[in-house]
Amino acid sequence: MQYSKATGSKITASTVFDQVELVCNDIYPVYQQLFNLASDAEHYYLDDTTHRILDAKPVEKAVSNSDKTRLHSGIYTSGVITLNTIILFETNIGHAGEFIDSILHKRSQSCGKSVIMSDALPSNSPTATEATMSMCNIHARLQFVDVINHFPEDVEYVLVRNGEIWMNDDYVKSEQLSPSARLSYDQTHSLPIMEDINLWGRSAYSE
């Protein structure tokens, strides 16, 4: 164990677990407070990655945006970052969409719609309250990069056009534009590029 090597003492895994649990129990109220504060944020960044819990067993859970249920066994560490710099993580049988739902269930009714940036998986859309979903362009780009060996010319076209969007993003950051000015600039300069890519994809693979 790395901890044993660092301290020069042999410590059993069960002892380490007990000590970590004691600390976690003491700081849990802090986590709960951060959880409550995060529920009223305006913007969220949302993502998850696979993980393992050795003794976890499948559980029956509701299907997102449905009244049906099914057995879930996938274990994920889900992360949520708010623009007021609160960062929360959760590891369990569940995905990021469920995590953001649990946060937004505590959202004050006086708060407006939140903006959630994530990949385009339908399961990331919250059911607790309405939100504006902002699909992550980096995730989309990676999907093209993954198949570049199979469709080199097509992927090259998409990457070049995406590069124009990144340059627009660099510009608005360098100019330190206000959120409204940045939105206006992106709608004028970047949105047409995205529409071109969408139209190209639909026409190129419509047959």
State percent of the chain over pLDDT 70: 97
pLDDT at 145: 93
Res 190: pLDDT: 95
Contact by Cβ (8 Å): 144, 159: yes
- pLDDT, residue 173, reads 93
- Report d(CA 182, CA 145) in Å as an integer: 27
Confidence of residue 19 (pLDDT cuts 50, 70, 90): confident
- Average pLDDT on 151-177 reads 94
CB 193 within 8 A of CB 157: no
Alpha-carbon distances, residue 15 vs 7, 44, 138 (angstroms): 14, 37, 42
pLDDT value at residue 207: 59
What is the structure's pLDDT at 206? 65
What is residue 180's predicted lDDT score, i.e. its pLDDT? 92
129-155 average pLDDT score:
90
DSSP-derived 3-state class of residue 99: helix
- Band of residue 68 on the pLDDT scale cut at 50, 70, 90: confident
Q: What is the pLDDT of residue 197?
A: 92
Given a cut of 90, whether residue 56 has pLDDT beyond it is no
How far is the CA of 45 from the CAs of 48, 83, 90, in angstroms?
10, 8, 14
Q: Mean pLDDT, to the nearest integer, of 146-172? A: 94
For residue range 72-95, what is the model confidence (pLDDT) as tens digits?
888 888 999 897 789 999 998 888
Q: Is 44 exposed, middle or buried (0-12, 13-18, 19+ CB in 10 A)?
A: buried
Asked if pLDDT for residue 1 goes beyond 70, the answer is no
pLDDT at position 174 over 90? yes
Q: Cα separation of 41 and 100, whole Å?
A: 11
Determine how β-strand 43-50 pairs with β-strand 114-118: parallel
Cα dihedral 28/29/33/35 (nearest 10): 30
